[in-house]
Homo-oligomer: A and B are copies of this chain.
């Protein structure tokens, strides 16, 4: 099996699973329980959060653990709460209680559902048009405005600047696009945010301006530091970096005030109630540790493999030419049907994708490929190959050969039908 869809899912690595094992059947205690073995589990959990946080230059107390990147993205948008129009609401809420562990929650104990204002007083949000559905749908739901991308997939910074108004509260731009692997210039965006804030301050405008970034795809190939990136909110995902499914995190800077999507026992500083998924977070931490350890080696390896693929593949158009993660290879075979190619490649044990798995499964045309200006023909013939830890150099060579075979067979079949 040659698996070239690591952007859709990664296997839990053996070391991660090994780290998780004791927390299933032995150290299974509820971290909120009063006795020592439970407190030890709580401490291990916090330590694991610390490892994850450290990897992005943050502290354990800056992270809210969620059930994945989708929830983290949704949670990030609770920061755009219209303080002005809902002032009375805020004061009605009981003061937040101190959490059982760590610092005091800065939130109301009520779920966001009952706090966020509806569309008649929409927050002003900007989001990159190529964002994943978990950002796009929330942003659209809040009346957000899309920022354009350039044909190379990078954010159109001029469009961003033109669309920022004095009301803009949140800008959401993923660090790495999930279909193209495009690495967005977060630091440049942060600089625009910074100057906007200074300008607002000078003019006495008190509206917050936060920068959120979904870094789900980035953690194992980019050296991420929240201060260097200049983000206020950052989404992380265990399942994309050889950690377990069902675990993610949201980094929250001191500038951002969130509201819970889910209330109850008050875990995660009251922002995300529910018994902690201890094995999940332990596994996440191990995955992050391994990712950091192999960061440079993996980048070099994937860069070589990418180069090798691009030199061996035939009759293709390269879609993600520059500014992308080394393990993303997006190629189009205009005139061919990518869905058919996936099927034919699968018969030869090569597994590739057309775009985001969740979007592809709905039979939708990629909004990302549309946004960078590809023609329908180009989109219909596009494959996303994402390299990863399950691959070997030999597999990459074999994959190129098999793809070439399938593509040339398809061309012959089509030409035959034309005759």
Interface residues of chain A, those whose CB is within 8 Å of chain B, are 1, 5, 8-14, 17, 21, 24-26, 28-30, 32-38, 66-71, 73-74, 78, 89, 92, 97-101, 109-119, 132-134, 137-138, 141-142, 239, 244-247, 261-267, 273-280, 339, 342, 346, 351, 353-354, 356-362
- A10-B28, A114-B119, A280-B246 known; A265+B360 contact, CB < 8 A: no
Q: How far is the CB of A69 from chain B (nearest CB, A)?
A: 7
Tallying the copies of this chain within the complex gives 2
Most B-side CB within 10 Å, residue of A101, A111, A134: A111
Which one of B25, B111, B267, B339 lies within 8 Å of A358 (CB-CB)? Answer: B267
Q: Are A274 and B70 in contact (CB under 8 A)?
A: yes
Which one of B8, B66, B111 lies within 8 Å of A138 (CB-CB)? Answer: B111
Chain A binding surface, main DSSP class? loop
**Could you give 8 example pairs across A and B, Cβ below 8 Å?**
A5-B35, A8-B33, A32-B357, A69-B274, A70-B265, A111-B261, A245-B275, A266-B362
Bound together, the chains give a CA A356 to CA B142 distance in angstroms of 37
Bound together, the chains give a CA A262 to CA B263 distance in angstroms of 14
Residue of B nearest to A360 (CB): B34
Most B-side CB within 10 Å, residue of A10, A14, A74, A353: A74
Bound together, the chains give a CA A8 to CA B31 distance in angstroms of 9
User: Which chain B positions have C-beta within 8 A of A26?
Assistant: 11
Most B-side CB within 10 Å, residue of A33, A37, A68, A280: A33
Bound together, the chains give a CA A221 to CA B92 distance in angstroms of 41
Which one of B66, B247, B263 lies within 8 Å of A137 (CB-CB)? Answer: B263
User: Which chain B positions have C-beta within 8 A of A24?
Assistant: 11-12, 17, 244
Q: Are B25 and A13 in contact (CB under 8 A)?
A: yes
Which one of B97, B246, B353 lies within 8 Å of A33 (CB-CB)? Answer: B353
Q: Are B113 and A239 in contact (CB under 8 A)?
A: no
Given contacts A33-B360, A132-B264, 17 further A-B contacts (CB under 8 A): A1-B37, A8-B29, A8-B30, A9-B30, A36-B346, A70-B262, A70-B274, A78-B113, A98-B362, A111-B261, A113-B113, A114-B118, A117-B118, A134-B263, A137-B273, A239-B275, A267-B358
Bound together, the chains give a CA A134 to CA B99 distance in angstroms of 15
User: Which chain B positions have C-beta within 8 A of A110?
Assistant: 137, 141
User: Which chain B positions have C-beta within 8 A of A70?
Assistant: 262-265, 273-275
Q: Are A361 and B277 in contact (CB under 8 A)?
A: no
Q: How far is the CB of A287 from chain B (nearest CB, A)?
A: 12
Q: How far is the CB of A28 from chain B (nearest CB, A)?
A: 4
User: Which chain B positions have C-beta within 8 A of A134?
Assistant: 262-265, 273-274
User: Which chain B positions have C-beta within 8 A of A354?
Assistant: 34
Q: How far is the CB of A355 from chain B (nearest CB, A)?
A: 10
Q: Are A133 and B266 in contact (CB under 8 A)?
A: yes
Bound together, the chains give a CA A102 to CA B267 distance in angstroms of 33
Q: How far is the CB of A405 from chain B (nearest CB, A)?
A: 18
Q: How far is the CB of A402 from chain B (nearest CB, A)?
A: 14
